[in-house]
Structure 1
């Protein structure tokens, strides 16, 4: 019986009375907030104390004060109620829901998606499109994401997925960095410039580096120069624009900069990444308004990266 009591949850009304009295420091104030009598608040708290087998409050000159067990229990109660309130807000989003949430890694979100996504927004003004950038994996059970632009798909065996495109890298730099007119007469001249490096940690094995590019170009006279290293592609691109060195830039992420002349391509030799970008989503998302249209639009947008 004692074990069963500890596994059985108290009444929600008991916990609410306790939390309110703890926040206000007064059972009378708690009664006003809950629209019940102070005697009812006192009874609710007494029932909770009997259920837990501990004293939660002691009387003071100004009202009531939490005991040490009461302070401990309040922390858990407040976290539980906050989660319930968040769940209530989340459910409200589904009442006549006309929103879609698209999550992407930081660099694809800012460099590939954002310059183009306004076109879709203008075509579908009735949909509230939310864009989220993240460096973490997405849990569709706890995150309000509808679509996730992911590098690889191995972490999502149970979700629907579409391979969008496989990116490639080419050497680029700011036109202000060059010491000779384009095109460079000899690709070995690149070795005279600082090299910007991108360190993706465990995922770095999927991104070609300078050693691989020079080997593919047949340049083996000496190793690449050291230079600044970044763990985010967007920061590396900004460094190249600022003239800090030569970068192996992902084509999908530097398209705008090449068109605007902020960066120039130094060679047509491109090395593909060894993993593709995917669109990941739960099957249920396709029942939401305009979800199919957004999926089709993203697939069409990805076609430009396959040329």
Structure 2
């Protein structure tokens, strides 16, 4: 076997496991087109078709499905060997990958407490929205905002999210925002593009429809691709932003932002924040401490959000 075909086999395995060329590309850190090119090259080398292309996407052939489990198992063995050969990590190292916005607006504000309790831990954080393979990339944990993940991972459910409109107290007063307001005509809005694939993540249009509000200027205003930029725009008084309670909570709790329409006008999401680790892997004492600390922080946060939004379970 040519070594050059390992990347193609990796792409082949990822597509079958994730069910999508796009998801496979996100996991491998390459474009969808690159995954397709690797698959076509592998098909040319093998002299057979591995996927049937159609309007609804690509479906694996029966021959491809027959080797799926063995191929996934083979890469799992290679991942285990690679991890065993990694001698550079120290006994007290804990490595975590987590979403950028979650890291900036929730995790970073709380992690100092973990360091105070565990000063010897070498905690290494990778803030990235790229779908990372825990075994291949050598991370101990992943915190993801996602649907239930594939098998092979131990999962701890942390908390869900809600979409809420927030702004500064000054902006609310200046624009006459109130609980009984029926229209946002003339109110500057902050839009967040490409926020998440969560099917229940509310856009402004969804939020207007849910609560019987007139859209007003929903197509105008500032547009950002990153939640942190949108939050900063709201914090500087530039507009009303629709964002996750997880990311806005600390600013709400500190009074820098408010819920101008009250706690009831929130929309629950489908995805949840989860702590993931590889099934069957024995944790070090430091890794166990991080896991326990994260679970404790999540429990506190669930209670706090429940109080803020008058919820029993978030």
8 A contact 1:105–1:133 mirrored in 2: yes
Give the TM-score normalised by the residue count of structure 2.
0.63
How far has the Cα of 1:277 moved from its partner? 1.1
In structure 1, stretches of 5+ residues that fail to align are: 8-86
Query: Is 2:76 the counterpart of 1:97?
Result: no
Distance 1:174 1:221 in 2: 21
Q: Please list the CA deviations of residues 263-292 of structure 1 after superposition, one character each: whole Å capped at 9, or x if unmatched.
A: 121122111112111111113554222222
* CA 160–153 in structure 1, closer or farther in 2 if over 3 Å, else same: farther
Which residue of structure 2 aligns with residue 143 of structure 1?
137
Question: What is the CA–CA distance in structure 2 between the aligned matches of 1:304 and 1:154, rounded to whole Å?
Answer: 22
- The equivalences for 1:31-42 within 5 A come to none
Say whether 1:250 aligns with 2:244: yes
The answer for the alignment partner of 2:276 in structure 1 is 280
Q: Verify: 1:266 aligned to 2:257, yes or no.
A: no
5 Å-filtered alignment, 1:133-212, equals 133-180=127-174, 184=178, 186-200=180-194, 203=197, 205-212=199-206
- Rate the CA distance shift 1:221–1:195 in 2: closer, same or farther, 3 A: closer
CA displacement at 1:157 relative to structure 2: 2.7
Residues 1:234 and 2:217 aligned together: no
Could you say if the C-alpha distance between residues 128 and 285 of structure 1 is closer, same or farther in structure 2, counting changes exceeding 3 Å?
farther
Residue of structure 1 equivalent to 2:300: 304
Q: Contact (CA 8 Å) 2:198, 2:271: kept in 1 or not?
A: no
Cα RMSD after superposing both structures: 2.8
Residue number in structure 2 paired with 1:66: none
Question: CA separation in 1, counterparts of 2:282 and 2:226?
Answer: 32
Match of 1:121?
115
How much has 1:162 moved relative to structure 2?
Answer: 1.4
Matched, 1:289 2:285: yes
Larger radius of gyration: 1
